[in-house]
């Protein structure tokens, strides 16, 4: 057992923290109010090599690991949930599936620009009538000569308005038992027939781009099929497993940010002639948040470590996501309580933490779905 | 060009610092590259990129200083030297550090040595100038711009907010002031590459020095935190009365008059 980070992991954590404190934090309120995707920040994240952390050097990445990646997500999430979500989605959902399942040609064409930070990618699974039940996908991809013709609709897709390509899941046929075969296909966003619009007025993560996609007779070459045509469903389950670690890390960042703010406020705020941190009721809240933050961190590090070791991490990733995101919500809620009326004001930022945290209990598998995944791993 | 940077590990003064038993608590402290040394690293990398050559970062420190050296390598320095005094030097001061660096630089033929203006922990600003003196090369402190053309070096330095322009020549030692540049963040690929860059570890023995040679010339008698700032007082009433009250408070309470 060794709980110490490597020098590289420690250095990355510090670099991302310094960057986030200096460049993202001062803009976090503005990003939320204006609901504007901070494109320039993503350009800089790309230049720092952060968009390719877990991707090998030969594909334009840094050749680092999941632990390092989780640390980076946490540090960004600590100051800005919107930037954190778009960052996590770009790496885990946009880039990783191409690395796991792509052909060499697909990696060169579609992965390298993402890992080098020159472009963003998205992952379009959710549809108006297929959310938790991804098997209910209605979008179809029909073979026509060397091409697929794709028709359908996707909703709530992170970063799609700024993406160079979107990995779209679609029904490509039926298996022997008459069940739909779902495959993943890489669709460049400039393909004719794609309409991408982001008109959602969101509760939180307002600066993260979320878009609706309509595909009308979208024609892409069949060589854009990602991975095994029969295994599309399994593949995206694997993708989501990995993505969960990063959403968990984002929750941890928000929880840690809530703790930091609540603690320093409690020490400064005086009522009844003393700092409110001297009241046991406030101390117990802080102690609980601190404990949950630490537990969430340990669970995330374990899931990330298992992934880096090439071991099965499905159960641990689901546990980490479930626990860390619910911790984020509780921590932000208590941070507001500790701030009293001030906490209800935008300027103190903890109300934003709560709104941002709520998304994490929904996206990339709701809390209920995480419990289903864990139960299934238990053999239920 | 043969470029050297003097780098010190310091605790982060923006984090909480605790003093106990007349010593600064190492345990809770967060350690960083002395911020002024970051300007030196950045400038060294820029000089190398313009004029060619190699950047070597040197620190006198302990085992833990490797972290800061690796960070400098991740920013783009080529190699690093850690002179580890952990086992040999119990107490040291600027004299100690300069003695060690002098021995290190004896056979180095440095074209330029860049250091920070001061280290934010002890803020003496002595090591750079003293080392230059020992090596018998010119030095310029608190520089905010540098331009090298052959052997000629044009420098702008900060003098209490004004700019002094001067010309000097290589070899040279400079200490770097805020405003010289904007230090880069180490990139992820940089961090991964830093792992494979050479980092030499020396002890004072390797420099033909022993403990007696590097004895400090100063003695630290006490370390304490500044008194906590108390809440200010707002005077009220007629201006004349306020002035009177202020003067009397300056005499009786603040005892500065
Ligand atoms: C800001 C944002 C960004 C997003 N980004 C992306 C993205 O990049 N790509 C993408 O593909 N999707 C994305 N999504 C979609 C997201 O993954 C889905 O919203 C989520 O999976 C839930 O699906 P749903 O909204 O259809 O809810 P539903 O599936 O309709 O769920 C409604 C409720 O029923 C519960 N429920 C459903 N099934 C069960 C069950 N079997 N047992 C118990 N309870 C159940 C759910 O837990 C939930 O509480 C994003 C969503 C948002 C809000």
What are A335-352's pLDDT values in tens digits? 999 999 999 999 999 999
Q: Give strand pairing partners of A198.
A: none
Ligand 1 centroid vs A98 CA: distance in angstroms?
Answer: 23
In this predicted structure, what is the pLDDT of residue A327?
98
* pLDDT digits 0-9 by tens, A43-72: 999 999 999 999 999 999 999 999 999 999
Instruction: Determine phi and psi for B24, rounding to 5 degrees.
Output: -80, 130
The CATH homologous superfamily for domain B2-214 is: HUPs (3.40.50.620)
* Three-state SS sequence of chain B: CEEEEECCEEECCCCCCCEECCEECCCCCCEEECHHHHHHHHHHHHHHHHHCCEEEEEEEECHHHHHHHHHHHHHCCCEEEEEECCCCCCCCCHHHHHHHHHHHHCCCCCCEEEEECCCCCCCCCCHHHHHHHHHCCCEEEEEEEEEEECCEEEEEEEECCEEEEEEEECCEEEEECCCCCCCCCCCHHHHHHHCCCCEEEECHHHHCCCHHHHCCCCCCCCCCCCCCCCCCCCCCCCHHHHHHHHHHHHHHCCCCC
Inter-chain CB proximity A49 and B187 less than 8 Å: yes
Check: CB of residue B138 under 8 Å from CB of residue B153: no
Residue B75, both tokens: 């920013």
Checking if the pLDDT of B12 tops 90, the result is no
In angstroms, what separates the C-alpha of B185 from chain A's closest C-alpha? 6
Active site residue A364: yes
pTM for the model:
0.91
How far apart are alpha carbons B16 and B28 in whole angstroms? 8
Percentage with pLDDT > 70 across chain A: 100
Percentage with pLDDT > 90 across chain A: 94
Kindly state whether B192 is in contact with chain A, defined as any CB-CB distance less than 8 angstroms.
yes
* pLDDT digits 0-9 by tens, B59-73: 999 999 999 999 999
Read off the pLDDT band of B231 (50, 70, 90): confident
Residue B154, both tokens: 């044009």
Q: Provide the terminal-to-terminal Cα distance of chain B, rounded to the nearest Å.
A: 56
Kindly state whether B99 is in contact with chain A, defined as any CB-CB distance less than 8 angstroms.
no
Read off the pLDDT band of B256 (50, 70, 90): confident
Checking if the pLDDT of B15 tops 80, the result is no
Checking if the pLDDT of A293 tops 80, the result is yes
Check: CB of residue A290 under 8 Å from CB of residue A338: no
Nearest-atom number in ligand 1 for the CA of A159 is 8
How far apart are alpha carbons B5 and B75 in whole angstroms? 13
Q: Which of A124-128, B23-27, B43-47, B221-225 has the lowest mean pLDDT?
A: B23-27
Residue B140, both tokens: 């310029």
Question: Shortest CB distance from A62 goes to which of B32, B185, B188?
Answer: B188
Inter-chain CB proximity B66 and A7 less than 8 Å: yes
Q: Which of A26-35, A233-242, A312-321, B48-57 has the lowest mean pLDDT?
A: A233-242
Instruction: Sheet containing B112-116: give its strands across.
Output: B162-169, B152-159, B139-149, B172-176, B112-116, B2-6, B54-61, B79-84, B199-202
Q: Please tell me which residue in A10, A47, A364, A368 is annotated as part of the active site.
A: A364
pLDDT averaged over every residue in chain A: 96
Checking if the pLDDT of B13 tops 80, the result is no
Domain extent listing, chain B: 2-214, 231-257
Instruction: Determine phi and psi for A124, rounding to 5 degrees.
Output: -110, 100
Check: CB of residue A240 under 8 Å from CB of residue A365: yes
* pLDDT digits 0-9 by tens, A108-158: 999 999 999 999 999 999 999 999 998 899 999 999 999 999 999 999 999
**Residue range B122-129: average pLDDT?**
92
- Token pair 């619009």 in the structure block, residue: A197
How far apart are alpha carbons A370 and A273 in whole angstroms? 46
């Amino acid at each position: 057992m060794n709980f110490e980070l490597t020098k590289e992991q420690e250095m990355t954590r510090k670099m991302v923290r310094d960057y986030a404190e200096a460049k993202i934090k001062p803009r976090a309120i503005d990003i939320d109010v204006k609901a504007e995707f901070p494109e320039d920040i993503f350009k800089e994240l790309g230049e720092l090599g952060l968009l390719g952390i877990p991707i090998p050097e030969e594909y334009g990445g840094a050749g680092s690991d999941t632990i390092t990646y989780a640390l980076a997500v946490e540090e960004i999430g600590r100051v800005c949930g919107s930037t954190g979500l778009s960052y996590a989605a770009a790496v885990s959902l946009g880039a990783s599936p191409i690395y796991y399942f792509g052909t060499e040609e697909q990696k060169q064409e579609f992965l390298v620009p993402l890992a080098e930070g020159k472009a963003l990618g998205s992952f379009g699974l959710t549809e108006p009538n297929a959310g938790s039940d991804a098997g209910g996908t209605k979008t179809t991809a029909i073979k026509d000569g060397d091409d697929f013709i794709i028709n359908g609709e996707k909703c709530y897709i992170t970063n799609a308005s700024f993406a160079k390509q979107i990995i779209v899941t679609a029904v490509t046929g039926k298996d022997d038992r008459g069940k739909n075969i779902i495959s993943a296909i890489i669709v460049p966003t400039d393909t004719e027939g794609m309409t991408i619009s982001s008109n959602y007025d969101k509760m939180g993560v307002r600066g993260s781009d979320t878009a609706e996609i309509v595909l009308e007779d979208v024609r892409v070459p069949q060589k854009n099929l990602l991975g095994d045509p029969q295994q599309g469903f399994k593949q995206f389950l694997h993708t989501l497993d990995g993505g969960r670690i990063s959403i968990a890390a984002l929750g941890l960042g928000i929880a840690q940010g809530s703790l930091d703010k609540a603690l320093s406020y409690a020490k400064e705020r005086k009522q009844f002639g003393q700092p409110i941190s001297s009241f046991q009721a406030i101390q117990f809240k802080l102690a609980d948040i601190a404990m949950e933050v630490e537990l969430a961190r340990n669970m995330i590090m374990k899931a990330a470590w298992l992934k880096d070791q090439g071991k099965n991490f499905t159960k641990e990733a689901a546990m980490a996501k479930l626990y860390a995101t619910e911790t984020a919500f509780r921590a932000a809620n208590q941070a507001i309580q500790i701030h009293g009326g001030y906490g209800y004001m935008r300027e103190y930022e903890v109300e934003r933490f709560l709104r941002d945290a709520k998304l994490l209990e929904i996206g990339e598998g709701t809390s209920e779905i995480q419990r289903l995944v864990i139960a299934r791993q238990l053999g239920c | 060009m043969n470029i050297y940077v003097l780098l010190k590990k310091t605790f982060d003064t923006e984090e909480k610092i605790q003093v106990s038993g007349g010593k600064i608590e190492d345990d809770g402290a967060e350690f960083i590259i002395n911020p002024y040394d970051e300007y030196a690293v950045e400038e060294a990398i820029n000089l190398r990129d313009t004029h060619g050559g190699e950047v070597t970062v040197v620190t006198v420190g302990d085992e833990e200083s490797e972290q800061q050296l690796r960070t400098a390598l991740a920013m783009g320095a080529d190699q690093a030297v850690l002179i580890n005094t952990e086992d040999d030097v119990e107490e040291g001061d600027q004299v100690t550090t300069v003695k060690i660096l002098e021995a290190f630089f004896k056979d180095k033929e440095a074209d330029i040595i860049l250091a920070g203006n001061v280290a934010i922990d002890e803020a003496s600003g002595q090591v750079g100038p003293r080392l230059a003196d020992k090596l018998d090369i010119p030095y310029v402190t608190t520089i905010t711009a540098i331009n090298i053309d052959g052997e000629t070096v044009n420098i702008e330095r900060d003098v209490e907010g004004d700019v002094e322009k001067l010309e000097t020549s290589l070899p040279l030692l400079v200490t770097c002031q805020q405003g010289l540049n904007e230090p880069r963040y180490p990139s992820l690929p940089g961090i991964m590459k830093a792992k494979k860059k050479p980092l030499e570890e020396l002890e004072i023995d390797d420099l033909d020095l022993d403990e007696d040679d590097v004895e400090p010339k100063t003695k630290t008698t006490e370390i304490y935190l500044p008194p906590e700032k108390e809440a200010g007082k707002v005077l009220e009433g007629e201006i004349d009365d306020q002035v009177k009250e202020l003067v009397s408070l300056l005499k009786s309470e603040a005892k500065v008059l």
